Amino acid sequence: MPEELSKEEKPQTGPKEYSEIISIIDENPYDLKVLDRVLSLARNEEGTEKAREGFYGHIPLDEMIKTAERLREATTLENKYRVLVEKCSTGELWYDIILGHTNDQNLVALGEEIGNWRNLFGRKTMERKWDNGLDIGSGTGNSLLEIKKHAGKFIGVEKLEFLSEAARSNPELSKAEIVTADALNLPFTDEEFDLVMTNGLTSYLPKKELLRFVKEVARVVEPGGSYFESFIIKKKEEVLPLVEKEFLKNGKGVLVCLMDRMITNKGGEETATEESHFSILKSAFEKNGFSYKLLPHQNKGIAVAEFKKRLPPDFEDLKSLYVSSGAFLSYGQMINLLFNDSNFHKNELKEIIEEGKLPSSEKIIPSLKFFKKLAADQWVIMSNSYGHYNTVFIRPLAEISIDESVEPAVRQKAQEVLVANLERFYQDTSDREGKEFYHYLGKLREQIENKTGCEKIISQVDTIIAEISLKKKTL
């Protein structure tokens, strides 16, 4: 197109033509004819208002073209990523320009599910907290920033050292631990993390490696812990999913789509007879002792999958009993399970403590850890009621926490779990249950007033009482 043509004389293009070209791109992003057509489209729009629209409008076209040519020439995924960690003249990494816009939308959905509990109706009810988080395939660090918001400790794993260096250069991640390692051979001990996530990594793995990856994740996730991943939802009649709609804004968007496919295209879609990527992942996690739930974000065109590692069978049985049969049997089963007391139908916990029948700390503390995970299980939350929850998950812990005859290490662990359970219940309590809870907290406060080593419980109880009182005044 001659440069002397004015804006008005340049041919008008639109979503229909963009969609047509993107369909061809998806078949083979390395076809030179496709590249020529995309470059011609983008050049024809250069200098028009349309070229300045959307997320990519501010990126210089000549730099985009050079980057597309370099990606096409790169023969390995590692070499492509070396291009992506370079900066555009705007100061942005090419990674963030080409892959980041879509990936960031995935991260928003992932963050919502990692950071929030939901009730039976799908409503977000409370903040979800994790002890140790692991981000596998952390790349330039965007996903690591997300996991950082929700975990007390967090680690990133990246196979390519130059990507790890790019992440470390981010001031927000200057103190983060970022390990250079292969996702199929993680340098961590068994059951080290309660939260693991990836953002797009598994889409690059062939089936054999995907199955190895799931086994490795299963090894490092502790019982009750979870693995999260997001999946793009695309309707059959659509050329692009919602998260990629920016590609249809202009020729620059189509060019970015081409570069994206040079990195992510596996060389042909799965046929109807082949297993989908998600089906393989789901089946592999189930074989490795995980349950799963799929959480759709229809307005984003994304679904988040949470694969949860099952607790030991006895604790899963206790969960089923709690959900189906209420508090009395659950309390008795809990006494039997935690303290190995077969006379749980006769003895209450206080009697077991008084008789000095508590097992050693080496036996109780791991059980209390599972008990903490059980109290924050989605099914327990969904079947919530103050009376049941108090009977099974609060009152017994309080009895252990405040009894000075109990071994200090056990008291400390029980107090940690009690504080977590008090907070969890308070965040999801109804007004009616809140009155009962408020009354119970007052009684608990009296019991621990003069007890040594109960400072964390006192602080937590005082905070919740103050918040409930404030809520009452504002109603």
Containing 304, the helix (H) or strand (E) segment is strand 302-309
In order of 334, 335, 341, 369, 450, the CA distances from 402 in angstroms are: 19, 17, 21, 18, 10
**CA-to-CA distance for 316 and 308, rounded, in angstroms?**
12
pLDDT for the residue 472? 65
Question: Residue written as tokens 């939802």?
Answer: 233
Q: Which CATH architecture has domain 128-253+268-309?
A: 3-Layer(aba) Sandwich (3.40)
Cα–Cα distance list, 455 to 152, 262, 423, 445, 460 (Å):
21, 58, 15, 11, 9
**Burial degree of 82 (CB within 10 A; 0-12, 13-18, 19+):** middle
Write down the pLDDT at residue 431.
Answer: 59
Banded pLDDT at 66 (limits 50, 70, 90)? very high
Ordered alpha helix ranges (H), 376-427: 378-382, 386-389, 395-402, 408-427
Q: How many CB atoms lie within 10 A of CB 86?
A: 12
Phi, psi (5° rounding) for residue 93? -70, 145
Taking the C-alpha atoms of residue 434 and residue 272, their distance in angstroms, rounded to an integer, is 52
End-to-end CA distance of the chain: 68
pLDDT at 121: 66
Q: Which residues pair with 232 in a beta bridge?
A: 302
pLDDT of residue 5: 38
Distant-in-sequence, close-in-space partners of 139: CB < 8 Å, separation ≥ 6: 95, 158, 163, 166, 167, 199
Top pLDDT among 214 and 387 is at: 214
CA angle 240, 241, 244 (to 5 degrees): 75
Answer whether 0.75 is exceeded by the pTM: yes
Q: What does the block give as tokens for 464?
A: 């919740």
Interatomic CA distance for residues 162 and 167, integer angstroms: 9
Q: In this predicted structure, what is the pLDDT of residue 8?
A: 45
> Looking at residues 163-192, what average pLDDT do you find?
91
DSSP secondary structure letter of residue 97: I
Closest CA to 91 of 60, 47, 52: 60
Residue 430 has pLDDT above 70, yes or no: no
Dihedral sign, CA of 133, 134, 138, 140? positive
* % of residues, the chain, pLDDT over 70: 89
pLDDT of residue 284: 95
Three-class SS of residue 223? strand
Determine the Cα–Cα distance for residues 88 and 95; give it in Å rounded to an integer. 10
Q: Please give the Cα distance from 49 to 57 (Å, whole number).
A: 9
Burial grade of 330 (CB within 10 A; 0-12, 13-18, 19 or more):
buried
Phi, psi of 109 (to 5 degrees): -65, -45
Mean pLDDT of 68-82: 93
Please, which pLDDT band fits residue 432 given cuts at 50, 70 and 90? low
Highest mean pLDDT among 23-27, 374-378, 449-453: 23-27
Rounded average pLDDT over 73-98: 93
CA 356 and chain centroid, separation: 42
Query: Chain centroid to CA 370: how far?
Result: 21
Confidence tier at 272 by pLDDT (50, 70, 90): very low
DSSP 340: -
pLDDT, residue 6, reads 43
CA distance 4 to 225: 63
> In the predicted model, is pLDDT for residue 383 greater than 90?
no
Question: Where along the chain do its domains lie?
Answer: 128-253+268-309, 313-474
Rg from Cα positions in the chain: 27
Q: pLDDT-based confidence at 265, cuts 50/70/90?
A: confident
The more confident residue out of 280 and 266 is 280
Question: What are the b/e assignments for 129-162, b being 16+ CB within 10 Å?
Answer: bbebbbbbbbbbbbbbbbbbebbeebbbbbbbee
Mean pLDDT of 73-83: 92
Q: pLDDT tens across 363-373, in order?
A: 888 888 888 88
Distance CA 379, CA 304 (A): 18
Angle at 57 between CA 52 and CA 62, to 5 degrees: 100
